Structures are given as C-alpha cells and as structure tokens.
Amino acid sequence: MAIVQTRVETGKVRGALCANPSYTVFRGIPYACQTSGANRFAPPMLAESWDGERVCDTFSDICFQPVHESGTPFADFFIKEFYPYQYSQSENSLCLNIWTPAESVNDKLPVMVWIHGGGLGSGYGHEMEFDGEAIARRGVVLVTINYRVDVLGWFAHPDLSRESGHHGSGNLWLLDQIAALKWVQRNIANFGGDPANVTIFGQSAGGISVISHLISPLSEGLFAKAIIQSGSFAVGGGWPVASLAEGEAWGVKACEILGITVQALRDMTGQEAFRALHYAQDNGAGPMPRYLLGHAALPEAPDRAFALGLAKNIPVVVGSVTGDNSLFPQPDLKGQELLEHALESRLGSQSSDFLSQYPISDQGGDIARAIIQAGARFGDIAVAEGQASNNHQPVFVYYFDTFIPGHNIVPFVPDGEAYHSAELWYVFGVLQRCWRRFDGRHYNLSQNMTDYWTNFAKQGDPNGNGLPSWPAYSQRQKAALRLNERLIESEDISNPLFDQYFIALKQLIGGHR
C-alpha cells in the first residue's frame, strides 16, 4: 500500500486511498499561506504550521477568477468540456495535490509537477481532467498546483515594487509557481519522490509557464526536465508581453480611476479587490498587463532567450494540437501587409531590421508565408531550434491531430478537430471522464501518450519498449512525432526558410543585446 501518512515542513498529513488502493492522493496541502490583507499582491509567504494531523481528503478553494457562465457558445463549450462544477473561490488557495504510488519515503520515484492553463486568468490544479492515477500506475509521483490568476495574480504598482525586495511587482502567478516548486524540493521525498528528478509540464498558459521557468533565474535548480504543451507560441510569437514599467503604470492608473491607494485595495475583501480591479479595466484603464518583462523572475523575453541559448540546458518535450491554430486567426489583411504583420508578430520592434535585410518582395515574403502556414506549430520549431542550435540537451517535438468524436457548438472548433486542450484527456488517461464517446483506438493512443510522458519523466527520453520510435529533434534530423488514433509515426519538419529565419533572428537579437 502506498504512503498514507507522512510529514511536511508544516505538520503531519494524511491522504486518502485512490479508487485503486495501490495509490494515495493528498488533496489541498498548503504550500504558501493565505494571500489576503497585507499578503495581497505580495510574493508568496511560507504556509503556517498546524498542530496534530491534517486530513488531506478535500481539494482546496480555487484562486479568484471570473466565473464560467453559460450563454455564449464559447462559454458553453468549455463549461461542458471542463468546468461543469463551480468551486468556491478564496485567497486561502495556494495549495497543491499529490498522487503517489510510493510505499516508502526511500523509494525516490520520479516526480511530475503539473501547471494548469487558462490564459493565466482562470483554471486550477484539480480540474476533472487532471488526475494522477494513470501516472502513479507507471511509478511516477504527480503534483498539481494552484497559483494566483487574473487581476490578483497580475497587479503591479510602484509602491509594491519598492516593498518587494527584488525591484519588481506583478508576475505573482510565476512567483507562486516558483514557491510551489521550492516546496516540492523541500518536501516531496516524504511522499517517496526524488527531488533531483522533477519534470515540470503544463498546457496553454501552463506551457507558457514552463517556458518562463526555463528562462527564469529564480527557477534555477528546481526541476530537471520540461514538457511544453500548446504553449510554445510564447517563443514563436503571438503572446502579449509588457514591460514592468507598463505594468506599474497600469496599476497607478487603476488606483486613480478607483480613487484609492494600494493599501485600500489590501483592506478590501478578496472579492471586493477582484471586482474593483475589473471595474478599472472596464472603465478607462484597459486590459491589465499580465506578463511583465524586466522583472526579477522574467528579465528576458522568451523568444530572445531561446534564440540566444539562454534557456536552461535540460531535456525538453514540446508540441501542439491541430486546434491550436484557432488561437491565431489570420488578420483581415492582404498581400504585403499580411506578410509584414506575420513577421512583426514574431519579431516585434526588430521586424523593420529584418525586412531591411529580407524584403517582403524577396525572401522575407517567402519566410512570412511559411510562418503563416505553419500556424501554432511554428512555436514548437522555434523552441526546438533554439535548444538544438545552441547544443542543448535533447528536445522532442510532437503534433497531436487525432479525430475527436462529438458535435461542437462553437465555430472555431470544427467537428472532429483536435481542439485546444483536447490532449489533456489522453495525457492523464481520463478519457472516461469526458462526455465524448471515445473508442478503443483513442484509449490505445492515450496509453501510449501517458507512457511517453512518464518515460520522459523517468529518463529524459520518451522512448520505451513497445512504443513507436520518437526521434529527438536535431540540426541533422528535424523530426517530430505525429500522434493520432490511426497511427503514431515520425515526420520530417525541416524547412529551409525557417533555417534562414532563425539564423537571421539570432544575428538580429545578438546585435540588440
């Protein structure tokens, strides 16, 4: 029987047996203290200790976020798919959940830490598609976490930057994740996990979070491998970034609109502060910046960091799904204007320098067309190229394009297409929890994907006995694995235009350091 009772740094904990009693789940363990009052907008603080034994059989509240309300096709799709139940929200929610198959604290099993998606504005670590039994069955400990999202996880202000101790505010979502990873380092051995063999993985904004940890100096030494699911567009273009100064300026403007101080925001209840900042957004301040560069946790933009080889030199898996392209609708532009827009979305202020060397009328136009055609997959190639061209450890690329049964009610998710987030049911081995009628081919694919993911967590290589070969991406072999219910096979994703682009990009960025 797996460990049921153990100790963490703040006290004793008792878990609950899973449906399969060979595994235990510990739900709602605090990794940081509540974030109300003086702790609101502050970096996470250590959790408070407790007396006696804490029974961890219930998931915690979730962090404050917009409530999913039906009434639009978009909302109705995601409510039916992932959010049929609304959990209570509070600021006592910086908690994590652990599934373990370990029978002893001496087992030293590989550990996977899951970072949920939701655009950094929603989501939580115990969504119904996140479950650890299939991963535990393969001898791996799974940790899922909550972190502050939406306005209470983004808010920056000069007053907060002065008090922070690291000359920056905002990016609380990332600081929370770092605190959770540090907690894992200090405590996971007591659940039979090996702190020296931790793999972080996440999807969408969770994948962007993984990329952020790969480039953040504050995440150094906290994990050994990384899996990026549908989050590589942070490197390939399309993810909005802002400077710390812009984030602070937004905070000043919001307080002016509300006629209050930061202290007044802290004196409110969490719900009141959440609503006040949303009021400011809707009444003159505009959208709050959420991803702030120049901060201690994010000194560099992801595309620059990967191009220059500044990302951590560890094994990486990166991939996307067919429906990710719906996140990047092509603008209503024609000809040269469309092509220039495509390059500007990748290069930003450096696009004019690029176009001066590679005019749209020449190679620049060919490269832009190739980027548009690649869609979300371009980000996967940008990550892989950044790692491989800088002689980093292996990177493995995948593309998930299986047929998904069931009628979809939104126009951006065509029937049968692998929609954004569809692979989550497969990776966690929980197809039976979805309303869709998956068949045996889908269950076989799910088994293989969970094997690939956990093999990678164990050894830094997804390959294993009985699995189709998944070659690493390299400068000599630019390969990816295609995953669908019909077949699993490797494909060549080399593109000479992309090679020219990345060479030019590295030269441009190197000249602007």
In this predicted structure, what is the pLDDT of residue 96? 98
Q: Any idea how long the chain is?
A: 513
Task: Return the H-helix or E-strand segment holding 54.
Answer: strand 53-55
Q: How far apart are CA 497 and CA 368, in angstroms?
A: 9
Q: Walk along the chain (513 residues) and give the pLDDT tens digit of each residue.
A: 899 999 999 999 999 999 999 999 999 999 999 999 999 999 999 999 999 999 999 999 999 999 988 888 888 888 999 998 889 999 999 999 999 999 999 999 999 999 999 999 999 999 999 999 999 999 999 999 999 999 999 999 999 999 987 779 999 999 999 999 999 999 999 999 999 999 999 999 999 999 999 999 999 999 999 999 999 989 987 788 999 999 999 999 999 999 999 999 999 999 999 999 999 999 999 999 999 999 999 999 999 999 999 999 999 999 999 999 877 666 666 778 888 888 888 888 788 888 888 898 888 899 988 988 888 899 999 999 999 999 999 999 999 999 999 998 877 788 999 999 999 999 999 999 999 999 999 999 999 999 999 999 999 999 999 999 999 999 999 999 999 999 899 999 999 999 999 998 888 887 655
For residue 296, the Cα-to-chain-centroid distance in whole angstroms is 19
How do strand 53-55 and strand 16-17 relate by DSSP bridges?
A: unpaired
Q: Measured between alpha carbons, how far is 247 from 290 in angstroms, rounded to an integer? A: 8
CA dihedral 34, 36, 41, 43 (to 10 degrees): -20
Q: CA 207, CA 201: separation in Å to the nearest integer?
A: 7
- Judge whether 28 and 58 are in contact, CB under 8 Å: yes
Measured CA to CA, the distance from residue 501 to residue 368 in angstroms comes to 9
Of 296, 280, 288, 297, nearest to 246 (Cα)?
Answer: 288
pLDDT at 344: 84
Question: Treating both helix axes as pointing N-terminal to C-terminal, what angle do 496-511 and 377-389 enclose, rounded to 10 degrees?
Answer: 60
Supply φ then ψ for residue 95, to 5 degrees: -130, 165
The contacts of residue 261 (CB under 8 Å, 6+ apart) are 159, 255
Helix or strand (DSSP H, E) at 225? strand 225-229
User: Distance (Å, rounded) from C-alpha 472 to C-alpha 470?
Assistant: 7
Cβ(27)–Cβ(111) below 8 Å: no
Q: pTM (2 decimals)?
A: 0.97
Distance CA 270, CA 275 (A): 9
| Cα gap 370→378, rounded to integer Å | 9
Give me 93's structure tokens.
Answer: 């929610």
Q: Which of 88, 112, 93, 87 is nearest to 47 (CA)?
A: 93
Please report the pLDDT score of residue 332 as a whole number: 65
CB 236 within 8 A of CB 346: yes
b/e string for 137-171 if b means 16 or more Cβ within 10 A?
A: bbebbbbbbbbbbbbbbbbbbebbbeebeeebbbb
DSSP conformation class of 199: E
Q: Is 60 helix (H, G, I), strand (E, B) or coil?
A: coil
How far from each other are the two terminal CA atoms of the chain, in whole angstroms? 55
CA distances from 304 to 125, 267, 390, 449 (A): 30, 40, 13, 31
Measured distance CA(35)–CA(45) in Å, rounded? 8
Alpha-carbon distance values, 434 to 31, 78, 408, 424 (Å): 30, 12, 13, 11
Q: Find, among 498, 274, 248, the residue nearest to 384 by Cα.
A: 498
Q: In what order do the strands lie in the sheet with 225-229?
A: 16-17, 24-30, 95-100, 141-145, 109-115, 193-203, 225-229, 316-321, 395-400, 479-483, 488-492
Distance CA 502, CA 513 (A): 16
